[in-house]
Structure 1
C-alpha cells in the first residue's frame, strides 16, 4: 500500500531543491502542452489557408470546453496536495473520485453542447462551405480528445498534488511524438494510411491523447490502486464529499475561466490596432505563454508544498522558513525569464528576419516591460498559490476578476479605441495589472491567517 500516513512532527521546511524537483517536470509538461498547439498549426499549414481556418475555428469551440476541464483540474491539484499532507487515504480517495466525477460530467456535457450548438455557430462564422465542412469534421473527431482529457487531466493533477510530477510528464513524452507521427501520416496519406487532411490532425490528437490518458489510468492503478480498498468518504458519504469538492473548486475554476475570457476579449480589441502593432502583440503572446512557465510552475510547486505542509499541521516557523526560500527561488526564476526575453529581443532581426522593420522595432521596444513585469508577476504568483493552498480561493478569485474586468479589459479598450496608443502602452497594461494585484495579495499574505487554515475541513 502506498504510504500516505504522516505525522505533524514530520513536518519540516522544504528547500529550493524540493520545489525544483516538483517544478521542472511541471514546466516541461506545460511547454509540451502549449507547444502542441503550435505543432498542429505547422502540420496543417501545408494544406492551405482554408484548412488552417477550419482547424482554428474548430479548436476555438473545443478549446472552451478543454479550458474548463483544465481549470477544474488545477483545483484538484491543490485539493490533492492538502489531502496528501494530512496522510488520510480516505481524503485522497475522496479527492480523486470527486474530481473524476466533476471533469467527466463536464466533458460529457461539453460534448453534448458542442453537438447541438457547433453546427450553427460554424455555419455562421466560416468564410465558406468548404471551411465549415472541414471544421465540423475536425470537431466531431476532436470530441474524443475532450472525453480523454476529462479523465486524464484529473489524474495528472492528482499526481502533481502527490508530489509525483514526473508521471504527467511521462504521459506527454509518450503522446507528443505519437501525435506528430500519426497526424503527419493521416494528413498527407503516408505509409499506407488514408489521406484525411484536416481530419487527420484531429484523429492524430484523438489517438495520442487517448493513449496518454490510458497510460495515466494504468499509472494511477499501479501507484494508488490501494485507494480502491479504502472504506468510507471524507464527508461521511459521497454526495456531501462531492459538494465540498465543487465548492472548493469553483472559485479556482472561475479564476482561470475569467482569465481566458478576458484574454479572448482583449485579442478582439487588439485587432483594431495598427497592423504592425497588432502583429507584434500577437507574436509576443506565445513567448509570454511558454517562457513564463518557468516562474509560474515554480509558484504552482510552491502552492503544492504549502498545501501539503498545512495538511501536516506545520508550525508557523516552518511555513515562514519555507516561503522565504520559495520567494528567493521565485526571484531567480523571474530573472531567468527576463534573461530569456533579453536574448529574444536582441535576436529579433534573426528570429523574425521576414518581418517588416517597423514590427521588429515594436517588438524590441517591448523589452523594458518584459524585463520589469517578471518580478511583480512572480511574487504575485507566490501569494496567489499560497493563499489558494490554504483554501482562500474566493479572495484570490476576486483579485484576479476585478483586476481583469475592472482594469485591464476596459483600459485596453480605452487605450486602443479612444486614445489610439502604441503597442508599447497596450502591453504595459499587463505590468500595471500586476501592480494593481500587488497590494491586496501581499497584504492578505502578511496578515498570516492562512497559516492556521484547516485544510481538511
Structure 2
C-alpha cells in the first residue's frame, strides 16, 4: 500500500509568498497615501487620518471575516465538493456585503457628528466628511473584493489576489497623485483626491477579481443545492464558523488602539518610539504571519480530504521548521533596522533612537514564540476549533496585556522597554494553552465538512 505523502515547505512557500507581497501592498498603500497628502499640510493629514480611522473600523471588520472565509473555503476545497465551495463563496459574499453596506449606512448616519466633535477645526471636519463620503465606494468594493481574494487563497490560488494588487496599487498612486495636486489636467481635489484615487483603484481591482472568479470558477455556481439544505441555513452555519475568528481579529485591533491611547501618557520620546515601531512590527511581521496562514490553509484542505493523523504530523513538522526560518528572517530585518536607525531617522532625538534600539532584544526573541503560537492558532482554526482560539487571544489581551499596560504606564511609569516587553509576555501567556490543545490531537479527527 502506497503511503500518503504530506505537503512540504515548498507547498507552504508557494502559497505564502504571494500572500506576503499582497499584505505588504495592502499596508504600504496607507503609507503612500500619507506621503502624497503630506505636502498639503497638517490640516489635510489630520482630515485624512480622522476619516481613515473611522472608515478603517469597517474595513477591519471586513478583513476579519475575510480571514474566516479563507479557512472555510480551504475546507471546502479539500473536501472537493462544488456545492460546498459554492455555499462558502455565496455565504461569505452575503455576509461581507452586508457588513459593507451596513458600514456605509452607519458612516453616513453618524460619522458627521463624530467628525465634527473630534476635528480640530471646521475646515478639517469638512475635508474629513468629504473623504468619508467618497471612501464609501472603497468599503463596498473591499466587501466584495476581499471575500473573493480569500476564496482564491482557500483554493490555493494565492497569485490571483496578488495580481489584483499589482494592477490596483499603481492606479491608486497615479490617480491619487493627479487628483490631489491637479496634475495632467485633472482637478485639484486635495484630500478628496486621495479618497477618489483609492475608490478608482479598488473598483478596478474588484472588477478584475470578479472576472477571474467567473473565468476560473464559473462552473461552481452551476452546482445545484446548498451545503446545509437551504441558503439561509448555509449562511447561518458560515456565520457561526466565522464569528469567533472575526471576533479574534476585532479584539486584537481594539486592544491595540486602547494600548496606544495609554502610551500617550508616556514621556514624549518613549511615546514616539512606541509609535514608530508599530508599522515596522506590522510590515516585517507579515513574513512569518503569512507563512502560518498558508499553513492553516493547507491543514484545512488536508482535513477536508480526511488525511490520516501521521501525514498531518509530518506536514506540521515541516511547516514548523519553515515558520522558525521565517521568524529568523524577521529577526534579522529588525537587527538591520535597529543598526541603521541613524540613517532611517536622522532627525530623531538621541533619546528616542536609544529607546528604539533598546527594543532590539525583544524584537528578535518574540518572533519565535509568535510564529509557533500562530502555527497552533491557524491549525486549530482550520480544524474548526475557533472558539477556543478566540478565548486564548481575548483573555491574553484583555485580562493581561491591556491591564498590564495600564499598570506599567499609569501606575508605575516604567520605561518603554518594559512596556514593550508585554508583547513578548503575551506570547508566553498564550504558549501553553495553544500547544497543549494542539498536542491533544483530537483536532486531526474533526469533520470540517459539517
1:328 matched to 2:301: no
Query: How far is the alpha carbon of 1:350 from its aligned partner?
Result: 1.1
Q: Distance in 1 between matches of 2:396 and 2:337?
A: 29
Secondary structure class of the residue paired with 1:141: helix
Give me the TM-score of the superposition, normalised by structure 1. 0.98
Counterpart in 1 of 2:191?
198
Q: Distance in 2 between matches of 1:346 and 1:56?
A: 30
Counterpart in 1 of 2:288?
295
1:242 matched to 2:249: no
1:214 matched to 2:207: yes
Secondary structure class of the residue paired with 2:348: coil
Q: Distance in 2 between matches of 1:159 and 1:30?
A: 15
Counterpart in 2 of 1:142?
135
Q: Distance in 2 between matches of 1:133 and 1:141?
A: 13
Q: Moved runs in structure 1, 4+ residues, more than 4 A? A: none
Which of residues 122, 131, 147 in structure 1 aligns to 2:124?
131
Which of residues 307, 314, 319 in structure 1 aligns to 2:312?
319
Q: Distance in 1 between matches of 2:235 and 2:352?
A: 51
1:439 matched to 2:432: yes
1:425 matched to 2:418: yes
Deviations 1:241-262 (A, max 9, x none): 0100000000000000000000
Counterpart in 2 of 1:255?
248
Q: Distance in 1 between matches of 2:345 and 2:155?
A: 42
Q: Distance in 1 between matches of 2:88 and 2:72?
A: 7
Which of residues 412, 433, 442 in structure 2 aligns to 1:449?
442
1:119 matched to 2:106: no
Q: Distance in 2 between matches of 1:350 and 1:188?
A: 30
Which of residues 389, 394, 403 in structure 1 aligns to 2:387?
394
Contact residue 172 and residue 212 of structure 1 kept, 8 A? yes
Which of residues 290, 302, 305 in structure 1 aligns to 2:298?
305
Map residues 134-173 of structure 1 onto 2, 5 A cutoff.
134-173=127-166
Counterpart in 1 of 2:217?
224
Counterpart in 2 of 1:43?
36
Secondary structure class of the residue paired with 2:86: helix
Q: Distance in 1 between matches of 2:197 and 2:191?
A: 10
Secondary structure class of the residue paired with 2:196: helix
Q: 1:11 to 1:215 in 2, by over 3 A?
A: farther
Give me the TM-score of the superposition, normalised by structure 2. 0.99
Query: How far is the alpha carbon of 1:12 from its aligned partner?
Result: 3.2
Ranges in structure 1 where 5+ consecutive residues have no aligned partner: 1-8
72-81 vs 344-353, greater mean Cα deviation? 344-353
Q: Distance in 2 between matches of 1:92 and 1:228?
A: 9
Query: How far is the alpha carbon of 1:11 from its aligned partner?
Result: 5.7
Query: How far is the alpha carbon of 1:292 from its aligned partner?
Result: 0.3
Map residues 365-404 of structure 1 onto 2, 5 A cutoff.
365-404=358-397
Which of residues 92, 99, 106 in structure 2 aligns to 1:99?
92
Q: Distance in 2 between matches of 1:157 and 1:129?
A: 40
Query: How far is the alpha carbon of 1:227 from its aligned partner?
Result: 1.0
Contact residue 11 and residue 313 of structure 1 kept, 8 A? no
Q: Distance in 2 between matches of 1:228 and 1:77?
A: 18
Secondary structure class of the residue paired with 1:373: helix
Contact residue 273 and residue 420 of structure 1 kept, 8 A? yes
Query: How far is the alpha carbon of 1:228 from its aligned partner?
Result: 1.5
Q: Distance in 1 between matches of 2:187 and 2:152?
A: 37
Q: Distance in 2 between matches of 1:12 and 1:309?
A: 11
Ranges in structure 2 where 5+ consecutive residues have no aligned partner: none
Q: Distance in 2 between matches of 1:11 and 1:194?
A: 62
Secondary structure class of the residue paired with 1:391: coil
Counterpart in 2 of 1:407?
400
Computed over aligned residues only, the root mean square deviation of the Cα atoms, in angstroms, reads 0.8
Contact residue 12 and residue 318 of structure 1 kept, 8 A? yes
Query: How far is the alpha carbon of 1:10 from its aligned partner?
Result: 9.7
Q: Distance in 2 between matches of 1:436 and 1:232?
A: 45
1:24 matched to 2:17: yes
Contact residue 12 and residue 314 of structure 1 kept, 8 A? no
Secondary structure class of the residue paired with 2:225: coil
Counterpart in 1 of 2:68?
75
Deviations 1:417-436 (A, max 9, x none): 01001110111000000000
Q: Distance in 1 between matches of 2:53 and 2:286?
A: 22
Q: 1:10 to 1:252 in 2, by over 3 A?
A: farther
Q: Distance in 2 between matches of 1:304 and 1:53?
A: 39
Q: 1:10 to 1:111 in 2, by over 3 A?
A: farther
